[in-house]
Structure 1
Amino acid sequence: IFPLVQYWAHWADLKWYLERVAPGRLVVMTVAVSGTVGLRDTAQLLAQLGSLFALHLTPMAHWTWMFIKGGRTISETTILQGYTTHHTHVIMPLSHLATPSTFNKNGLQVQRQRWHYCNANGAMGGLCNEYTPDPLPVPSPPPVTHQSVIARVPVVVTAGNRHQYLYHTLTTLMNAPGAQHDNIMVVLGNATQAATQLLHLMNINFTTLTIHGHHNNKLFSYYRNVFKFIAHTFPDAPAVILLDEDVEVSPDFFSYMSQTLWLLHEDPSLYCINAYSATGFQGTAHDSRTVLRARVQVEWGYAVSLQFIRDAIRKWPSDVSKVDTVFYDQWLYKHQSNGRECVFPEVSRSFHFGMGVNTEAWSTEAYFLFKPLVKQPHVHLDNVSTLLLETWQEHFSRSIRHATPLTGNPCSETFVPPVNTTTNFVFYYRMLRELNGKPNYRNFFFAAKCLNAWSASEQGLHKRVLTVRVSMLTTLYLVGAPYSPYAYLRPHYIKPWDYDSVTDEEDDIIMNRIKKVEMGRYQILNLNVTSEYLMNILFVN
C-alpha cells in the first residue's frame, strides 16, 4: 500500500518496490479511493513498463493494471472522472515451470530453498531474479586496512516485518569491504515468517523479541529491549554498530568505522560515531575524506560503546507514559548524551531509504531522499586525530579567527563570493539566551535556510556553530553571537546579523530564497496565481 494521495516522497517507495520485482512476475495494481496525484516520477517508470494510462491519470482517477514485468499488459482500465464503482475481471493461468537450475552440486539445497521462498514473496530484487540471481551464500568481501579494529565489533540490525527492505540492507552490508558475516546479528521484533525464512536462507544470525503496543510506544519499548539484548549478549565488545532494516550502507561503511571507532574510548566528550551525515545534503556535501563533530542524536547507522548501552538501560523508563518523547533516538539525545557530541562524515556512509511510521513525506523529500552517499570503498580520512575535543577546539578557533567575515543578507545570490582556492568564511548572526536559559534559534533558522543547510533544529552544531561546506573549496562557519563560545572571535566592527532588522526589500529576497530552497529541484510555474488573478481571467472570458 502506497499513500499516493500525498504528493511528496511516497512515489519513490513505489518506484523502489517496482524496480525490485523480478522479470516474469505478474503484477496487479489498483487505486483504492484515490491516490494518483502522488505518482510523480514513478509514472514514467510505469509507462516504460508498458502502461498506456500512467502518464494521463487525473488526481482522482480510478485505475487497474495487470502486467508481466518485462513482458506485456494483460489488462488495463481506468475511469478518469467520477466516483462510480470500478471493476476489472481477468482469468490468468499461471505458469508451472520448474524452478531455475542456477545451482551447483554443493548448493542444491540452498537453491531449492531460494526458489521456494521466491514463490511466496515478491519484490525481492536480485534474490528472486531467475536470470541474474544474487549469489547464495553471499561471498565474503575483502578486508579494510584497519580490519582488526572492527574484528570484535558486533553489527546489530533492528528489523520487523519489512523483509524486502531487510534483504536490501543486509545485501549492501554483507558486500561492503570489511564486513564479517559472523559478526552480524538481526534482532527481529515480533518476527514474521517471511523475515525468519529470509535470514535462514542467508545464513544470518538472528533473535526474536516479543514486543507489545502500537507505533512509537511499541518502538520505544523495542529499542530498550534491543539495548538489553546487546548488553547481555556482547558484554565485552569494544563497541557495537547499530542500523535499521531500511538503511543502505556505503561500500566505505566499515572502512569509515574502522578509522573512527577509537575516538569513543579516547575522548569522553563523544558518545557516538554516526555513519550518517548530520549536515551533508545536496550542495553541502563535497569531500568524502572530511569528518566533523557536533551535538547530534544517533542516526541511521551508528556506533556506541557498551558502557553507553549499559548507562542508557539504567535510565531507560519502562513506562512510556512518563517520558517526554517516545522517539528512542531523541530520548537518548536529550537524556543520555549529557552534552556530549558525535562524530559524523561530511558525506554520508549510510542512506535511509525506507518509509515507515515516522516518515513525514515533505521533509523526507526535501532533506533525505537525494542525500549524497559515498559510492567507493577504502576512503582515507584525513583529519581523524583532530576530532579529539581539545585539538578540535584549537582547530575550530584557528579556522574561525582566520576566516573572512561575511556581512549582508545570507539569502543574497552574491552572499558567498566565488573562490579559486581553499577559503574559509565566517558569518556572525545574533543569538541571545532565552529566559529558560536556552538559545533563541530564530536568526539561525533564516541564515541556515538561506544557505540550503540544516535548519530544522540545533542538531549538527558544535557549540552553536554550524559548518556549511558551500563547495569543495569553500567552508562557511555560522556563529551565533554572543551565545556561542566562539563568538569572542568576532571582530568589533562586525555587527551580528538580525532578521528583525532587515528591510522589506531584503525580507522579500529571504522569503523568495526560502521558497526556492524548500522546493529543491521542483519549480511551481503558477506560484503567483491568486484568486483575484483567476477571477480576472474568468471575467474577461
Structure 2
Amino acid sequence: MFRKRSVILFGTFLFVCWNAVLVLLLWSRDPTPQIENPDERQAPPPDVLLDVLKMADAFEAELERQKDILLQIKEQKQQRLVEVHRASNRSDPLSPPPPPLIPVLVMACNRVTVRRCLDKLLQYQPSQTHFPIIVSQDCGHEDTAAVIQSYGSRVTHLKQPELGLVPVSPDHKKFQGYYKISRHYHWALDQVFRIMGHSAVVIVEDDLEVAPDFFEYFLALHPVLTSDPSLWCVSAWNDNGREGWVDPAQASLLYRTDFFPGLGWMMLRRLWDELEPKWPPSFWDDWMRQPQQRRGRACVRPEISRTMTFGRHGVSLGQFYDKYLKFIKLNSEFVPFTKLDLSYLQEEAYQVAFDQQVYSAPLVSYEDLKQMKLQGPGPFRLQYSSKEAFKVMAKNLGVMEDLKSGVPRAGYRGVVTFFSRGQRVYLAPPAGWKGYDTTWS
C-alpha cells in the first residue's frame, strides 16, 4: 500500500514539475530579436519559427502523455480505495465480502445488431462497478463502431489493431474467418487479463441475448469455479436446450459437463495463463475440446440456457442454426442462485449421485421410447455401445449427434440427459464407464 502511495505522489510531482519547466521555457524565450529602432524590426528568421513550432508540438505531445499518467494515477487511487474497502470488510466478521469484479467481454465484428446484445446486458446489469461491459471489436466496421460508441461510458470499446489477413496455407484460405476470430480472441483476452488485470471474465458474442438472471448465475458460480480445480469453465449454454427438450420446472438445475459449451462462458486468469502460450491459430473452440486442453476437467452448464443466439449469419454460414440453435429456450424465470446451496456440484459428490441416478433408472428400448410406450415421468435409461448407435439414436431423438474427441455435446461421463415428450431420458453408455474414445468424432 505504501508503495502504491509513493507511485501516486511521484507521478503527481513529475506532472507538476514538467509543466512548470515547459511554461518557464516558453516565457523566457522571445522569438523576435531586439533591435534599437522599432521601425527597422524585421520578421524572425525561419529557423526560429521552426523551433517554436517544434516546441509547440512537443508541448502538445507531452501534455497528452501527462494526461495518460494522470489517468493511471486516478485508476491506482480507485484501486487503492477498493483494496482499503475490502480490507475493512475483512476486518469486520459481520460484514459480507464484497462481490467479485467480473467483466463481461463482448466479442464484436461487423454486426450492428450488437445493439440487441448490449441492450439486454445493460438492462439486467446489477452493477457497472462489479460487472463492467467491455466490447472488443474486430473487422474495423464503422457502422458497428458507431453503435458501440453510442453507449458512451456505459461500455468500454476496444478495437483490435490487426485487421489484415492471417497468413494461411492455400488449402485453408476458405477458413480465413476462423483464423481472424482466433487472433481476435487472443488479443482481447490478453487485454482483459494482462493489460486490465482482471482475474475472471464472462465472454459473450455479439449475437447473443442474455436471460434476466444471467449475472446472478455467474455471480453465484464464480466461487464454485474459483475453489474447484476440477472445473475449468462455467457456461450459460445447454447444447440440447431446445423447447421441449428441457424440463421447464427445473430452471435452477445445474450440471457438470465434459463438453466445452461456450456461447456465454466464464473463465479465470489462471486458465488463460495456461492456455495463452499455446493458443491455436484457428478453430479455438474445437481446440478447447481436445483432451490436451480439457485435461479431465468439466464445465458447469444449466438445464435451461441463460443465453440464446439470434445470429444466423457468420463464418459458420448458419451451421446448426436452422435445425437447433434458433429453437434454444432462453430462461425467463429469475433464479436466486446466490441464495442456493450449490455444493452438489463438487466433483466427488456429484459423480456418485449422478451415476446412481443414471444407472438406477430402468433400461428401456429405443423402440418403446419412440412409440411412446413408457409410463410415468422417468427417468429412463437408453443405452448405446458404439459411435454409430449413439449417432443414430441421438439424431432420431432430436439430440445433437456430433462428437468432439469422443465427447458428446452436453455429455458427462458419456451420458447425455434430455427431455422427450415430458419424460427424462439418459442416453448412456453401459455401466462402468472407462473414458472417452477419441476416435469417436
Q: Same fold (TM over 0.5)?
A: yes
Q: Distance in 2 between matches of 1:398 and 1:483?
A: 12
Does structure 2 conserve the Cα–Cα contact (< 8 Å) formed by 1:278 and 1:344?
no
Classify the secondary structure of the residue corresponding to 2:327: coil
Cα 1:308–1:345, aligned 2, differ >3 Å: closer, same or farther? same
Q: 1:442 aligns with which of 384, 388, 396?
A: 388
> What is the CA RMSD across the aligned residues, in angstroms?
2.6
Letter in 1 for 2:397: L
Q: 1:228 aligns with which of 190, 194, 198?
A: 190
- Gapped runs of 5+ residues in structure 1? 1-146, 321-325, 432-440, 488-541
Does structure 2 conserve the Cα–Cα contact (< 8 Å) formed by 1:467 and 1:476?
yes
**Corresponding residue for 1:188?**
137
Q: Distance in 1 between matches of 2:410 and 2:139?
A: 34
* Structure-to-structure mapping, 1:494-533, within 5 angstroms: none
Q: State the Cα deviation string for residues 317-338 of structure 1 (Å, max 9, x = none).
A: 4xx3xxxxx2211112224222
1:358 Cα shift?
A: 3.0
Q: Distance in 1 between matches of 2:393 and 2:229?
A: 32
Q: Distance in 2 between matches of 1:156 and 1:148?
A: 24
Q: 2:325 aligns with which of 357, 360, 368?
A: 368
1:397 aligns to 2:355 (yes or no) = yes
1:150 Cα shift?
A: 5.3
Does structure 2 conserve the Cα–Cα contact (< 8 Å) formed by 1:273 and 1:304?
yes
Classify the secondary structure of the residue corresponding to 1:400: helix
1:217 aligns to 2:174 (yes or no) = no
Classify the secondary structure of the residue corresponding to 1:454: coil
1:171 aligns to 2:130 (yes or no) = no
1:411 Cα shift?
A: 5.9
Q: Distance in 2 between matches of 1:200 and 1:177?
A: 18
**Corresponding residue for 2:289?**
333
Does structure 1 conserve the Cα–Cα contact (< 8 Å) formed by 2:259 and 2:412?
no
**Corresponding residue for 1:158?**
107
Q: State the Cα deviation string for residues 10-68 of structure 1 (Å, max 9, x = none).
A: xxxxxxxxxxxxxxxxxxxxxxxxxxxxxxxxxxxxxxxxxxxxxxxxxxxxxxxxxxx
Q: 1:470 aligns with which of 396, 405, 420?
A: 420
Q: 1:243 aligns with which of 204, 214, 224?
A: 204
Greater shift, 329-338 or 342-351, is seen at 329-338
TM-score between both structures, scaled by the size of structure 1: 0.55
Q: Distance in 1 between matches of 2:323 and 2:430?
A: 29
Q: 1:484 aligns with which of 430, 433, 437?
A: 433
Q: Distance in 1 between matches of 2:394 and 2:380?
A: 14
Q: Distance in 2 between matches of 1:180 and 1:148?
A: 18
Letter in 1 for 2:207: D
Does structure 1 conserve the Cα–Cα contact (< 8 Å) formed by 2:239 and 2:409?
yes
Higher relative contact order (Cα pairs below 8 Å, separated by 6+ residues):
2
Letter in 2 for 1:305: L
Classify the secondary structure of the residue corresponding to 1:357: coil
Does structure 2 conserve the Cα–Cα contact (< 8 Å) formed by 1:241 and 1:304?
yes
Does structure 2 conserve the Cα–Cα contact (< 8 Å) formed by 1:149 and 1:258?
no
Does structure 2 conserve the Cα–Cα contact (< 8 Å) formed by 1:288 and 1:379?
no
1:352 Cα shift?
A: 1.1
1:276 Cα shift?
A: 1.2
**Corresponding residue for 1:263?**
224
1:289 aligns to 2:252 (yes or no) = yes
1:454 Cα shift?
A: 2.3
Q: Distance in 2 between matches of 1:274 and 1:148?
A: 24
Q: State the Cα deviation string for residues 437-470 of structure 1 (Å, max 9, x = none).
A: xxxx211112222322222222221111111233
1:357 aligns to 2:303 (yes or no) = no
1:366 Cα shift?
A: 0.8
**Corresponding residue for 1:207?**
158
Q: State the Cα deviation string for residues 374-393 of structure 1 (Å, max 9, x = none).
A: 12334548673211110111
Cα 1:481–1:233, aligned 2, differ >3 Å: closer, same or farther? same
Q: Distance in 2 between matches of 1:159 and 1:224?
A: 14
Cα 1:174–1:148, aligned 2, differ >3 Å: closer, same or farther? farther
Q: Which of structures 1 and 2 has the bigger CA Rg?
A: 2
Q: Distance in 2 between matches of 1:248 and 1:459?
A: 21
* Structure-to-structure mapping, 1:364-443, within 5 angstroms: 364-380=321-337, 384-409=342-367, 412-415=370-373, 417-419=374-376, 423-431=378-386, 441-443=387-389
1:362 Cα shift?
A: 6.1
**Corresponding residue for 1:94?**
none
Q: Distance in 1 between matches of 2:148 and 2:413?
A: 43
Does structure 1 conserve the Cα–Cα contact (< 8 Å) formed by 2:251 and 2:335?
no
1:294 Cα shift?
A: 1.0
TM-score between both structures, scaled by the size of structure 2: 0.67
Does structure 1 conserve the Cα–Cα contact (< 8 Å) formed by 2:242 and 2:328?
yes
Letter in 2 for 1:448: A
Does structure 2 conserve the Cα–Cα contact (< 8 Å) formed by 1:179 and 1:254?
no
Does structure 1 conserve the Cα–Cα contact (< 8 Å) formed by 2:225 and 2:234?
yes
Classify the secondary structure of the residue corresponding to 1:478: strand
Give identity over the alignment, percent.
22
Does structure 1 conserve the Cα–Cα contact (< 8 Å) formed by 2:107 and 2:135?
yes
Cα 1:375–1:363, aligned 2, differ >3 Å: closer, same or farther? same
* Structure-to-structure mapping, 1:454-469, within 5 angstroms: 454-457=400-403, 458-469=408-419
Q: Distance in 1 between matches of 2:187 and 2:327?
A: 32
Q: Normalized per residue, which structure has more helix?
A: 2
Classify the secondary structure of the residue corresponding to 2:159: strand
Q: Distance in 2 between matches of 1:148 and 1:258?
A: 13
Q: Distance in 1 between matches of 2:104 and 2:97?
A: 15
Classify the secondary structure of the residue corresponding to 1:225: helix
Q: Distance in 2 between matches of 1:384 and 1:272?
A: 15
Q: State the Cα deviation string for residues 311-363 of structure 1 (Å, max 9, x = none).
A: 1111114xx3xxxxx22111122242223211111111001111333334462
Does structure 2 conserve the Cα–Cα contact (< 8 Å) formed by 1:464 and 1:483?
no
